[in-house]
C-alpha cells in the first residue's frame, strides 16, 4: 500500500528483545531515507491485554493490505498456554517458505570461513501442524503432516531461488530411512522438481549426517531444503557456524506476502537490558529492502553493518564486546551517514 509516495509496511516489535532490535532496524532504514511509513501493531504477549489474543486479526489485516512486514521475535510458552504466534502467522498468511541465509561476515570470528549457504524450510506443516492427542494417560501422539502440494511447492521455491541466484546445488535434508512414508513423499517431490532444473546439482542427505557434515565442513553446501522441524534445527546450527544467533536473518515468504524477521527468539534472559545484538534484525531489514526493490538502500545498510563489525570496536556481549544495543545502533547510524548515496540513474 502506498500513501503520499510512501510505502506502508507493517511493523511488529514483538516480545522480549524484539522491540529493542527492531527499533535499531527501523532507525537505520529511516536514516537511509527510504520512503516507508511504518504501521505498528502489537503481537505476542504484549497484544494479550489490549486484544485478548497474541495474534490479533488487525495484524493479519495489516499484513494482507501492506504485503510486507518487519517482525520482532515473539515468545511461546513451553508445554501449555497459547499456540505459537509464528506458526499462526505463517499458516494464516500461507507464508510457506522460510528463507534463511547463513554467511560469514568479515570481522566476526568463526571456526570456518567461506560459509555461504541458504536454508529453505517448509513453513506450514510437519510437526508444526501442532496436532497432538492424549491417547491414554502417559501416552501422547503427535502427528507429522507432509503433503505432496506443500512438498512440491517448497522444492520448487528452493530450485527457483537457486536458479535466480545462480547457485550450484540443492541438498534435500530428510529422515526417509525411518519416516519412510512422509519423508519418502518429500523426497519424491524434490526429485520430481529437480528434473526441471538440470543445470542445478541435486543431492539428498539424512538429517543426522547433515548435522555432522555441517560442523565438519559447511563450505560444501549451497542451498538446503527441508521440512519444518529439521529446517528449524539446522538454522540454529548454521547460525552458530556464522557467529551465533545475533547474525542470522530470515524471511517468511508467501505468494505475494513476506514477513522478515530474525532467526533468534525473544531472548527473555537479556530482554530490556540493552544487551541484545541487533545485527540479525538489521540484516532482516536488508532482505526486506531488497524485496521491496530498494536495492541501493539495502547495499548501503549491509555495507554499514560490515563496516561496523570489521572495525571491531562496537560489539555486543555475544560478540565478545561490551557495547550495548544502542551503541551498535549509533555506530550504524554514523556509518550510514558516512557512506555516499549512489548517484541516480
At residue 314, the 3 state secondary structure works out as coil
Nearer to ligand NAD, 266 or 294 (CB): 266
Q: Which of 164, 269, 344, 345 binds ligand NAD (CB under 6 A)?
A: 269
Q: Which stretch binds ligand NAD (CB under 6 A): 125-133, 194-202, 221-229, 274-282?
A: 274-282
All three cell numbers of 345: 540513474
Q: How far is the CB of 155 from ligand NAD (least distance, A)?
A: 23
Q: Which stretch binds ligand NAD (CB under 6 A): 137-145, 181-189, 268-276, 328-336?
A: 268-276
Phi, psi angle pair for 281, to nearest 5°: -65, -40
- Which helix (H) or strand (E) is 21 found in, with range? helix 18-31
Q: CB of 190 within 8 A of CB of 199?
A: no
Nearest to 201 by CA among 231, 225, 181, 184: 225
Within residues 65-84, the interface with ligand NAD by CB under 6 A covers 73-76
Does 265 bind ligand NAD (CB under 6 A)? Our answer is yes
Closest residue to ligand NAD: CB criterion = 265
Nearer to ligand NAD, 147 or 326 (CB): 326
191/89 Cα distance (integer angstroms): 29
Nearer to ligand NAD, 21 or 301 (CB): 21
Q: Give the number of other Cβ atoms within 10 Å of residue 108's Cβ.
A: 20
279/299 Cα distance (integer angstroms): 15
Q: How far is the CB of 265 from ligand NAD (least distance, A)?
A: 2
Does 264 bind ligand NAD (CB under 6 A)? Our answer is yes
142/131 Cα distance (integer angstroms): 6
Nearer to ligand NAD, 272 or 295 (CB): 272
| DSSP codes joined into one string, 22-42 | HHHHHHHHHHTT--EEEEE--
- Which helix (H) or strand (E) is 170 found in, with range? strand 169-174
Does 246 bind ligand NAD (CB under 6 A)? Our answer is yes
Within residues 313-342, the interface with ligand NAD by CB under 6 A covers 318
Nearer to ligand NAD, 218 or 278 (CB): 278
Nearer to ligand NAD, 265 or 324 (CB): 265
Nearer to ligand NAD, 16 or 218 (CB): 16
262/285 Cα distance (integer angstroms): 10
What angle do helix axes 279-291 and 295-311 make, rounded to 10 degrees?
160
Chain contacts with ligand NAD (rule: CB under 6 A):
17, 21, 73-76, 86, 245-246, 261, 264-270, 276-277, 280, 318
Amino acid at each position: 500500500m502506498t500513501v503520499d509516495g510512501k510505502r506502508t509496511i507493517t511493523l511488529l516489535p514483538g516480545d522480549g528483545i524484539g522491540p529493542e532490535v527492531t527499533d535499531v532496524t527501523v532507525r537505520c532504514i529511516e536514516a537511509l531515507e527510504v520512503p516507508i511509513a511504518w504501521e505498528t501493531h502489537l503481537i505476542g504477549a504484549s497484544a494479550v491485554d489490549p486484544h485478548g489474543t497474541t495474534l490479533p486479526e488487525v495484524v493479519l489485516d495489516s499484513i494482507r493490505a501492506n504485503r510486507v512486514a518487519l517482525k520482532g521475535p515473539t515468545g511461546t510458552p513451553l508445554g501449555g498456554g497459547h499456540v505459537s504466534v509464528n506458526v499462526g502467522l505463517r499458516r494464516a498468511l500461507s507464508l510457506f517458505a522460510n528463507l534463511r541465509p547463513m554467511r560469514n561476515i568479515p570481522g566476526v570470528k568463526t571456526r570456518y570461513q567461506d560459509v555461504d549457504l541458504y536454508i529453505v524450510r517448509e513453513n506450514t506443516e510437519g510437526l508444526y501442524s501442532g496436532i497432538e492427542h492424549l491417547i491414554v494417560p502417559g501416552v501422547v501422539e503427535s502427528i507429522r503432516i507432509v503433503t505432496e502440494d506443500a512438498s512440491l511447492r517448497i522444492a520448487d521455491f528452493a530450485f527457483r531461488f537457486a536458479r535466480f541466484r545462480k547457485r550450484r546445488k540443492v541438498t534435500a535434508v530428510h529422515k526417509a530411512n525411518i519416516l519412510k512414508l512422509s519423508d519418502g513423499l518429500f523426497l519424491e517431490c524434490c526429485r520430481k522438481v529437480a528434473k526441471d532444473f538440470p543445470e542445478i546439482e541435486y543431492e539428498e542427505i539424512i538429517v543426522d549426517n547433515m548435522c555432522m557434515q555441517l560442523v565438519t565442513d559447511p563450505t560444501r553446501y549451497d542451498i538446503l531444503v527441508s521440512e519444518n522441524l529439521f529446517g528449524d534445527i539446522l538454522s540454529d546450527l548454521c547460525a552458530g557456524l556464522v557467529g551465533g544467533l545475533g547474525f542470522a536473518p530470515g524471511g517468511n515468504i508467501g505468494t505475494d506476502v513476506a514477513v522478515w524477521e530474525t532467526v533468534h527468539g525473544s531472548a527473555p534472559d537479556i530482554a530490556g537490558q540493552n544487551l541484545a545484538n541487533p545485527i540479525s534484525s538489521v540484516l532482516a531489514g536488508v532482505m526486506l529492502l531488497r524485496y521491496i526493490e530498494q536495492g541501493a538502500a539495502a547495499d548501503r545498510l549491509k555495507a554499514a553493518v560490515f563496516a561496523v563489525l570489521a572495525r571491531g570496536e562496537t560489539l555486543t556481549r555475544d560478540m565478545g564486546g561490551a557495547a550495548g544495543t544502542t551503541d551498535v545502533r549509533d555506530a550504524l547510524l554514523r556509518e550510514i551517514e558516512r557512506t555516499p548515496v549512489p548517484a541516480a540513474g
